[in-house]
Structure 1
Amino acid sequence: MKKKILLLFLFAFVVKMQSQTIDPLRTKDYEAQEIWVDSIMGSMTIDEKIGQLFMVQAYSNLDEKHEKFITEMIEKYHVGNLIFMQGTPQKQAVLNNKYQALSKLPLMIGFDGEWGLDMRLKNTYRFPWNMTLGAIRNDSLVKQFGEHLGKHCKRLGIHVNFAPVVDININPKNPIIGNRSFGESKENVTQKAIAFTQGMQKYGVMANAKHFPGHGDTAADSHYTLPLLNFDKARLDSIELYPYKKVFDAGIGSVMTAHLNIPSLESNSVLPTSLSKKVVTDLLKNELGFKGLIITDGLNMKGATNYATSAEIDLAAIQAGNDMLLIPQDVPASVNLFKKALELKTFSEEELDFSVRKILKAKYWMGLHQYKPIELENLHEDLNSIEDELLHRTLLKNAITVLKDTKQNIPLVNLENKKIAYVKLGDDTGNYFVNMLKNYTKVDVVRDNNLDGLIKKLKPYNQVIIGFHKSNLHPWKSYKFSQKELVWLQEIAREKNVILDVFASPYSLLQLKTFKNIEGLIVSYQNSKIAQELSAQLIFGVFEANGKLPVSIGDDFKEGSGLKTYSLSRFEYTIPEDVLLSSKKLAEIDQYADTILKEKMAPGFQVLVARKGKVVFNKSYGYHTAKNLRTVKNSDIYDLASLTKILASLPLIMKAEEEEKIPLSASLKDILPSFSNSNKASVSVKEILSHYGKLKAWIPFYVGTQDSVTHKNLPIFYRKKQSNKFNIKVAENLYIRKTYKDSIYKYIKEADQREREGYKYSDLGYYLFKEALENKYEKPLDKLVDQKFYKSLGADRMTYLPLNKFHKSSIVPTEKDNYFRNQLIHGNVHDMGAAMLGGVAGHAGLFANANDVAKIMQMYLQKGFYGGRRYLKEETINKFNHRYYSDEKVRRGLGFDKPQLNPRVKATCGCVSDESFGHSGFTGTYTWADPKSEIVYVFLSNRVYPNMKNRGLIRSNMRTKIQQTIQDAILLE
C-alpha cells in the first residue's frame, strides 16, 4: 500500500514538474526559432539589448511632437516595443508601419483591449465586459470571442493583447476590476481565461494574464495608490494564484505583474509586488515555473511611481525578474542607470541576455521574423464585421440571467390578459429596450415626477416592467441605484406585479434590502443597444435564458444562480446574416425605395423581411402623403385592403372549419340559409375561397346611392351627422342609413352569376363569409378575430376601425376621394363596400403595420403555432394552402393566393416555391410566405395616393422585384 501511495506521489510530482516546465514561447519550429534568436543576439549592442526591455506608450491621436518623441525612442534608444493607446485604427496602422520601418528590429506592438479594440480605439468593435462573459455557461463561446479579438489584433499589427484579466473579483467594492473580471468563482474565472487565451493565441496574438498575483480582493485602485492584500500564503495559493497555475499549464504566453502590497509575499510594505524579487522570481518563475514573458503593469501608475524615481523603478523591476517594462516614464535615465548597473556588476549582462532572448523568442512566436506592414485597405470593415455582431449577439443571449420568476411571468404568455407598463430607472437611456418590447405587444411607457402620481398611473396595469439603465460607456461607470430609485422600486413592487431588468453590474442588486415583492428579476449586465434589445426578446420568450450569476448577491443569490426559461417561437429581431441572408443584397431595397419615391408610385411604405422566424429587415420609407410633413415610422399602420381576406376572415374560417361550423364542402345555403333560393345556393365554400364560384368580381354599391347625373350622394341614404337611422359611419361627417346593409346583401344575392366556369377573383364571397362567421359565433367580425387571434399574438397594431384605437398621426392616409366621400380618406377604410358596412368587412377594413402582418404570416408558416400557442392545426394549414382547381388553371389556394401558373401573370417574382402563399391588396399592400425558404415578406404602401389612378407601383411590378431581391439575398448554407 505504501509503495502504491509513493508511486502516485511520484506520478503527481512528475506531472506537476512537466506542467511547470512548459515553455509557451517555444514554437513548433523551435530549431529555426533558436537560429533566428541567436543570429540577432550575436549582432546586438548593449544599448540595443537594453532597448528591448522597454514598451513605450504611443498614441495615434496626438500631434507631430509625439511622433517625433516615438521616433527618437526607436532611433536613439533602440526601444523594441510599443503599446498603442487612444486614437483610431486607421491612424494607428499608418504610424505602426512608419515606426516599424524606422526600427532595426521588428517592434513588438502591445495593446490593452480586454473587451476589444474599442477599449482604446474609436471606430472599432466593442464586445461585452468580462463580467458579462462570466455569466455564460458555454466556454466555447468565450473561446470564439478570443478568436475574434485575435483576428482583430492580427489585422492591426498588434502582437500582444493585455488580456485576459484573471483576477477573481471577490470584493464587490473593488473600484478597478469589477466588470473586468469574469466573476468571483476561481473555477469559472479560470475556465473563461483559458478559453479566451486559446482563442486569441490561435491567431498568433499573445495573451497576457493579469494582474499577478491577484487584484480581485481589494477596495483600492493601483492607478492611484498601493492596494493592500493582507492574506496569508495558503489563502493566496488557493484563490488568487489558482487561475495563474491553470493558465500557465494551458500555455499562455505572458503575464503582467501588479503593483500590490502583499505582506505574506513581500515584507517590505512600500515595495510593490511588481518590483519584488520574492514575488516575481521566487514565486512566479521558480515556484510556479512560469517560462513565458513577464511584463510589468503600467509604470506610470501611482502604485509603482511612489516607490522611487522612474529609472530606479525600471531597474528594480528587471532585477526582480520582469522581462519587459510597460510604459516606462524616463527611458533615457533608465538606459543610463542600466549601463551603470552593468558596470557596477549590480546587474549582469547574463540577466539582460536572459530577458532579451525571451523577448526575441516571443517576437518569433508572434511572426515578427516574417514581418509585413499593415494593409490599409478595408481596415475598418475587417475590424467591424458582420461576424463580430453575430458573435456579440450570441454571447449576450447566453449571458442574460433570470434570477427570480415566482409568478412564471418570464417569458410573458397569454398576452390577451396582459396590460403592460414600462417604468425607467437609472440615468441612461432605455429606448432600445422599450422599443423592442413594443414589437411584441402593447407596452405603455409610464412616467411621473412624483411617486404617488406614478403609482396612480400604474393602477390599470397588471404587469410592470422596470428597466434599470446605467451608462455603458466603460466598465468603471457607476452602477448604483440612487436612494430615490430604491424607494420607488420597492413601492412599485409592493403595489404591482413587477419584472425588474438590470442593465448594469449585478453588484447593483446589493443595495436592495429585500427582493420579496419583486416577482421577476433579470440581470442583463450592460446597457448596450444589443443587450437592451435581446433582453426584451427574452422576456417574450424568443430564446431560452441560460445565463448564470458570476458573483454572489449577499445571501439572496449565490454565484452560479440562474433559472432556465423556455422558447415560445415568437419572432426574433436580428441581422440578415443570422439567417444566411446578405445585408449587402438587402440594402438594394433602398434603391427600389428611391425609385418608388422619386417616381411618386407611393408617398411612403414599409418593407419587412423575416427568415427562419427572425425579422432581419424592417424599414419605413418616405412620408404619409406627398406634402412630406410626416415621415413613415415602423409603428404606423396602413389600410391593408384585400390582405384582410387572409389576415382576418381566413384564420376565422380555418378555425370554423376545424370546429365543423363551416365545412369546406358546405354550400352557401348551408352557411347562410337566406341564400337557399338564390342562384348561388349550391356554390361551395371551397369554390368561393378558390375564386371558382362564378361570383362577379365586385359590385360598386355606392353608385346605387348617388344621383345618376350629378353623381352626388343622395340625402335619402346619407347624413352628415350620426343618428339612430343613420348610424353607420362611412367616413368623416358621412353616415349611411343603417338599413342599407340589407340592401348590399340583397344585391349580392340577386347578382347574376358568371356563365363561364373558371377563375375570377371576387370580393363578394367575403361579404358572405362575414355574415356566416358572425352568425356562427354570435360576435362581430372585428371582435371575433381580435379575441381569437390578434390579442394573444401580440398584434396590437392590427385592427379594424383604427380611429377608435389610434391617433390619426399614426395612421397613413389613402386616397383623396372625389367620387364618393369627397375627402382625404384617413383612418377610415378605403374600400367603398367595406366603408358602407361601417368599416368592418370580410374582404377589407383591416389596418396594421408590417410587423403585425408578419406575425400572422409567421404563424401560418409555423403551421398554426406562435408564441407558445397553437392557433390552428397543421393539417388545417396544409389543407388551405393547396390548389384544388389547378387543372382548371386556378392558381389560388383556399383564401391564399399562390404563385402564378401563367408566366405572363406577375402574382410573384416567379422565384418562390410552389408551397408559398400570400396576397396583395388594392391600396398597394403585399405579403408572401414561403415554407421552402422560410421567408416572410411584407410590403405596405398607400399607392392609391393621391388617387387610385396612380398605378405606377403595379405597372412596374416593384413589389415583386423587391421579392426577387430578397430571394437573391439568400446565402449558400
Structure 2
Amino acid sequence: MESRKIYSLSILTLIILTLTSSITANEILNGNSRVTDRTHSIIANEIVKNMTLEEKVGQMFIVDAAGYKHKQPTGGIILFQNDIHSIEQIVNLTSNIQKNSKIPLFIGIDQEGGNVNRLTIGTTTAGNMAIGATTSENFAFDTGKLIGDELSLLGINVNFAPVLDVNNNPTNPIIGIRSFSSNASLVGELGVGYMKGLKRSGVIAVGKHFPGHGDTNVDSHLGLPTIGHKLDRLNDIELKPFQNAIDNSIEMIMTAHITFPTIDSTTIKSKKDGQAITIPATLSHKVITELLREEMGYRGVVISDAFNMKAIADHFYEEESVVMAINAGVDIILMPINKERAYNRVLREVKLGNISEERINESVIRIIELKSKYGILKQNNISSDANKFKIEKGKIIVGGVDHKRIEEVISDNSVTLLINENNVLPFNIKDGDNILLITPNLRSRDNSLKAINKLIGNGKVIIDSIIYSSGTELNLAQKSKISKADYIIMGTNNLRNRDRRIDYINQLISYTNKQDIPLVVFSTGNPYDIMYLQHTKAYIATYGDFDSNINSSLKVILGKISPKGKLPVDIPNKDATGLLFEFGHGLEY
C-alpha cells in the first residue's frame, strides 16, 4: 500500500510535468537528457515528501552483496569480483535486485580499469596512468565510455571512478598507477574526460578520494593517513582535479578516510589506544560542508569510502562515526560493517534530535534526484525481453573485439621509453635467437611469452625464463641461462625501498652488462622502479601487467611500433635530491 502511495503521487507529478512541457513521462523516468534538473528536483521532492523516515534513512546506505536484504530499506549495493561470474548471471542478478526494490537501487562497482578491475568478464583497459602517459583527453573519454557501455548492459549504474588523486608521492602504497599523473592539471583534464565517457553511457561517475589520497605513504585500508599541507598547497595540487570535476558537473564524490589537520584540527580519542587523533575528512563538517560544498560549490551526492576500512574501523565506534559522517554532510555511507546497527542508530539519533530530519531530507533529495536523472527509478520495471536483449548484446560488447581494439590503441600509445643507451632498442631478433625472459611473477611471464610468440611467430626463437621473488639469488643455473641468451627482457613490478628483489635485479643487470648481452628492463606497475636500478641501458615504463600492457611493451621492444608515451609523473632520485626524470620525458625511435 505504501509503495502505491509513493508512486501514485510521483506519477501525478509526472502528469503535471508532461502537460506543462513537451517532455514525455517516459523521457522523465528514463533519464532523458531533454529533462531539466528542475524537473528531477520536483520529482525527488515529491517522492521524499511521501517517504517514511525509515525509508529515507535506508537510502543513505550502500552495502555489499553479503549485507543486502531486499526487505530492509537500502539505497544501493556494491558488487565485487566474486559476485560476477557470467554476463547472463550478472544481468539476472541486477534485474532481480531492482525488481525487489521499492525504490530502485544504485548498483555500483569499482571498475577503474587497469589494476582495479572487478569486471573480469569485461575489458580490462590500459589503466589510468597509461592514459596519463598518452596525455589524451579523448583516450580518457573512450575508456570511460567503454567501461560505461559494459556496465550499463549488465545493469550496473554507478562506477566508483575516476580516481582524481594526484600521485606525487612515489612511495604511495595504494594509489600509484590508479592515478592519471603527478600533474594536477593533467589529472583534472583526464578525470573529466573519463567522467564524460561514463556519463555518455548512462553510468554515474564518482570522483575519488576527496580531498586527495595521492601524497600519502599509508594505505587507508590498513591505517589512518595524514596530509599536513597548508590550504594554499592543497588548492594548487590535491583539490585542483576535484574543482575541475565540480566545474564540469560531476554528480557524486567519494570522501577519503585521511586527516587534513590544516583544514580541521579537531581531535577525538581513538578507541584503539586512547590517543588523541585528528578526525578524518569523512567525518569532518569543515571538509565536507564548509570546504567541498560551500567553498568549492559542489551540489551533488557525497558518498563515504568504505566504513569497513581500518582508517575508520580501528579508531571509531561505527555507529558513532556514521552519525558524525552524516552530520558532517555525507549523503551515503558505504559498506558499514553492521548496516542494521548503523541504520538503527541513525533512526534513533533523528528521533532524539541529534540529527535533524531536515538534514536527512537534504541527502535523500539529492539521492532520489540523481536516480531520477539517470533513469534508475524505472529500473524495477524491466521486462524479461529487455533482459534477454541485454544478455545477447552483452555477449557481443562486454570484453568484445571492438573494445579490445580501443584498449590496444590506448596501450600502444602509452608505452614510455626512458633510457636507450647506444640504441639498444629495438631488438633486432632473428630466427633461432635465444631470448631470456626474467619476470617477477607467473602472469608477467605467461603474458610476455604469449606476446612474443604472437609478434614473432611460434617456434621461430628459443625462449627460456626465470621467475624471481624477494628471496631469489643469482645462482650458477641462472648465470648459465644469461650467458646463452642473445637478448634479455626483464620485468619489474612495484619495487620499494629495502625490497630484497632490488639487490638481485642489480646483480643481474651488472652480470649481463659484463657479458655484453642486450638487456631491456620494463616496469609492469609503477614507473618509479627505475629509482632503484643501477647501470640500466634500456628502460621502459608499461603501467600494468595485463595483456594489453605487456603486448604493447613487447611491440616497442621488438620494433613493431615506436614508443609514443610521455612520463606522466616526476621520478625523483632515490635519495630525494632532485629529479631522475621529469614529467613529460619520453624517447622515440
| TM more than 0.5 | yes
Q: Please state if 1:375 is matched with 2:373.
A: no
Matched-pair contact (CA < 8 Å) for 1:52–1:80: yes
Alignment of 1:408-807 (within 5 A): 408-412=423-427, 421-428=435-442, 429=445, 430-436=448-454, 438-439=456-457, 443-445=461-463, 464-468=487-491, 470=493, 481-496=501-516, 497-512=518-533, 514-515=534-535, 518-554=536-572, 555-565=579-589
Residue identity matched to 2:411: L
User: Which of 217, 220, 226 pairs up with 1:219?
Assistant: 217
Matched-pair contact (CA < 8 Å) for 1:446–1:458: no
**Alignment deviations for residues 762-818 of structure 1 (CA, whole Å, 9 cap, x no partner):** xxxxxxxxxxxxxxxxxxxxxxxxxxxxxxxxxxxxxxxxxxxxxxxxxxxxxxxxx
**Alignment deviations for residues 6-51 of structure 1 (CA, whole Å, 9 cap, x no partner):** xxxxxxxxxxxxxxxxxxx996522432332233122211111111
1:78 equivalent in structure 2: 73
Change (3 A) 1:387 1:204: same
SS of the counterpart of 2:108?
strand
Cα offset, 1:262, TM superposition: 1.5
CA separation in 2, counterparts of 1:507 and 1:321?
A: 37
Cα offset, 1:248, TM superposition: 0.9
1:811 equivalent in structure 2: none
Gaps of 5+ in 2: 1-30, 268-276, 467-472, 573-578
Matched-pair contact (CA < 8 Å) for 1:137–1:398: no
Matched-pair contact (CA < 8 Å) for 1:204–1:365: no
CA separation in 2, counterparts of 1:159 and 1:103?
A: 15
Residue identity matched to 2:530: L
CA separation in 2, counterparts of 1:317 and 1:536?
A: 48
Percent identity, aligned pairs only? 29
**Alignment deviations for residues 686-706 of structure 1 (CA, whole Å, 9 cap, x no partner):** xxxxxxxxxxxxxxxxxxxxx
Mean Cα displacement is larger for which, 83-92 or 316-325? 83-92
Cα offset, 1:356, TM superposition: 0.7
Change (3 A) 1:423 1:120: closer
**Alignment deviations for residues 727-761 of structure 1 (CA, whole Å, 9 cap, x no partner):** xxxxxxxxxxxxxxxxxxxxxxxxxxxxxxxxxxx
Cα offset, 1:346, TM superposition: 2.2
Change (3 A) 1:417 1:389: closer
2:412 equivalent in structure 1: 397
Cα offset, 1:236, TM superposition: 1.3
Cα offset, 1:274, TM superposition: 0.3
Change (3 A) 1:417 1:147: closer
Highest Rg: 1 or 2?
1
CA separation in 2, counterparts of 1:332 and 1:502?
A: 45
Cα offset, 1:455, TM superposition: 5.6
Cα offset, 1:436, TM superposition: 4.2
CA separation in 1, counterparts of 2:515 and 2:423?
A: 18
Q: Please state if 1:29 is matched with 2:35.
A: yes
1:186 equivalent in structure 2: 184
Q: Please state if 1:48 is matched with 2:44.
A: no
SS of the counterpart of 2:78?
strand
2:195 equivalent in structure 1: 197
Residue identity matched to 2:284: S
Cα offset, 1:324, TM superposition: 0.9
Matched-pair contact (CA < 8 Å) for 1:124–1:380: no
Matched-pair contact (CA < 8 Å) for 1:480–1:508: no
CA separation in 2, counterparts of 1:116 and 1:107?
A: 27
CA separation in 1, counterparts of 2:299 and 2:403?
A: 33
User: Which of 114, 117, 136 pairs up with 2:134?
Assistant: 136
Change (3 A) 1:332 1:41: same
1:818 equivalent in structure 2: none
Residue identity matched to 1:510: M
CA separation in 1, counterparts of 2:40 and 2:364?
A: 14
Residue identity matched to 2:76: N
- Of structures 1 and 2, the one scoring higher in RCO (CA 8 A, sep 6+) is 2
CA separation in 1, counterparts of 2:344 and 2:181?
A: 43
2:27 equivalent in structure 1: none
Residue identity matched to 1:155: L
Change (3 A) 1:417 1:403: farther
CA separation in 2, counterparts of 1:116 and 1:535?
A: 15
Change (3 A) 1:271 1:260: same
Change (3 A) 1:199 1:447: closer
SS of the counterpart of 2:418?
strand
Cα offset, 1:392, TM superposition: 1.2
Cα offset, 1:257, TM superposition: 0.6
CA separation in 1, counterparts of 2:219 and 2:308?
A: 13
Residue identity matched to 2:511: E
Gaps of 5+ in 1: 1-24, 59-65, 566-973
Matched-pair contact (CA < 8 Å) for 1:87–1:122: no
CA separation in 2, counterparts of 1:227 and 1:542?
A: 44
Change (3 A) 1:344 1:421: closer
CA separation in 2, counterparts of 1:33 and 1:479?
A: 54
Residue identity matched to 1:81: G
Change (3 A) 1:46 1:435: same
Cα offset, 1:321, TM superposition: 0.4
Residue identity matched to 2:128: N
SS of the counterpart of 1:410?
coil
Change (3 A) 1:82 1:527: closer
Change (3 A) 1:339 1:99: same
SS of the counterpart of 1:333?
helix
CA separation in 1, counterparts of 2:115 and 2:371?
A: 21
SS of the counterpart of 2:581?
coil
Cα offset, 1:526, TM superposition: 2.4
SS of the counterpart of 1:544?
coil
Between Structure 1 and Structure 2, the one with more helix by share is: 2
CA separation in 1, counterparts of 2:319 and 2:546?
A: 43
Cα offset, 1:329, TM superposition: 2.6
CA separation in 2, counterparts of 1:199 and 1:391?
A: 13
Q: CA RMSD in A?
A: 3.0
CA separation in 2, counterparts of 1:118 and 1:216?
A: 16
Change (3 A) 1:208 1:26: farther
Change (3 A) 1:452 1:107: closer
Matched-pair contact (CA < 8 Å) for 1:116–1:125: no
Residue identity matched to 1:508: D
1:106 equivalent in structure 2: 104
Cα offset, 1:279, TM superposition: 0.6
1:156 equivalent in structure 2: 154
**Alignment deviations for residues 428-460 of structure 1 (CA, whole Å, 9 cap, x no partner):** 313224424643996443568965666666668
Change (3 A) 1:312 1:466: same
**Alignment deviations for residues 320-373 of structure 1 (CA, whole Å, 9 cap, x no partner):** 001111112333333332233223322212111111110011001111233253
**Alignment deviations for residues 669-725 of structure 1 (CA, whole Å, 9 cap, x no partner):** xxxxxxxxxxxxxxxxxxxxxxxxxxxxxxxxxxxxxxxxxxxxxxxxxxxxxxxxx
Q: Please state if 1:387 is matched with 2:387.
A: no
CA separation in 1, counterparts of 2:372 and 2:296?
A: 24
Cα offset, 1:309, TM superposition: 2.5
**Alignment deviations for residues 519-550 of structure 1 (CA, whole Å, 9 cap, x no partner):** 32222232323333332222333222111122
CA separation in 2, counterparts of 1:229 and 1:52?
A: 31
CA separation in 2, counterparts of 1:417 and 1:149?
A: 40
